[in-house]
Amino acid sequence: MSKYVDSLIREMELVAGSFSPKTVFFGGGTPSLLSLENWRRIMNAMERFDLLGAEEWTVECNPATVSTEKANLFRQYGVNRISMGVQSLDEGLLLRLGRIHTRDMVMKSFKRLRDAGFENINLDLMFAIPGQTMDIWKATMEEAMNLGSEHLSCYEVIYEEDTPLFDQLQAGEFDVDEALSCEMYDELIDTAASAGYDQYEIANFAKHDGTDTPKLPSYACRHNINYWRGGECQALGPSASGFVDGRRIRNIANTDRYCQQLEIGHRAHETVEQLSPLALAGETAAFGLRMNAGWEFDCFMEVTGYDLRTEWMDDMQRSVDSNWGVRTEESFRLNREGLRFADSVAEWFIRPDL
């Protein structure tokens, strides 16, 4: 871990001075596993390279790795948002998912974060887990929402290769119930709304504090909105994917190779892809439709230089004809049913990179 932190700090130094971050997100994996000393090194480096002061700074945490000392250190340096990977509050399902935390750890960690002064906490939840009934899902949602977090991210379970769940599925130990998955998603939307959360993206729900913009709840994740709106981002660490000057940049996935490149003073890029303006606009259109607000035509023109009403006229109409899309004079968005099929709609809006 110390070797990795050495390399991460070197990569920070290489990009420092080229931008001033408006948002920062430590995540993908479990950064809270790092020791207190390694976190101090990262924070000191960020201070040295003038990378502090972001409007929103999120750190992902596993409930089993949230200590009072780490929480206080995060607050000291300006972290103002925590995303906690809860997944479930059912002990049996946590075991099935191979999680290292328990329900009790979630409750204690949440209190620990509040005591440290965090007023913006996200809880990650998962539905359609094998063995998860509707009653279990309802109980998990109720308990999670009763905690009073400002944000919820709720995802349908994904079966990725080289995971225990994928192996169990291949072995026929359980079946995938698509109908139940859809029912759980509908229950999520209705339950979240009744608890004061606004759905602003397919899997994301946030509360209000009275300072909301017209289209977004105040606790919406600004960092993710930047992705969905086609904004630029620097990305550091193994496998990290960034978007700078119209280029998609992906770092080497292998941690040892990543460290070797940084040790000799090189960025650890694996691929750098320069997309055409139209291809970038198509990607931006597709990602933006993940958000409930969709795209205002003027905003899309400002971001991409293209008019959604010309290049994507047929795709918008196809969405409306499928009863998935809603078009007005000013904007286009997907409706509740359409958000379920956002990946299919995205394929229509993508343009080849010629």
* pLDDT tens sequence across 281-291: 999 999 999 99
DSSP string, 46-100: HHHTT----SEEEEEE-GGG--HHHHHHHHHHT--EEEEEEE-S-HHHHHHHT-S
Domain boundary assignment for the chain:
20-228, 292-349
Q: Please, which pLDDT band fits residue 100 given cuts at 50, 70 and 90?
A: confident
User: pTM for this one?
Assistant: 0.93
pLDDT band at 213 (very low <50, low <70, confident <90, very high): low
H/E element, 26: strand 23-26
Percentage of the chain lying above the pLDDT 70 cut: 99
Contacts of 138 (CB under 8 A, 6+ apart): 187, 191
Tokens representing 89 are 């509050």
User: Does the domain formed by 20-228 have CATH 3.90.340.10?
Assistant: no
Kindly provide the b/e burial profile for residues 31-64, where b requires at least 16 CB atoms within 10 angstroms of the residue's own CB. bbebeeebbebbbebbeeeebbebebbbbbbbbb
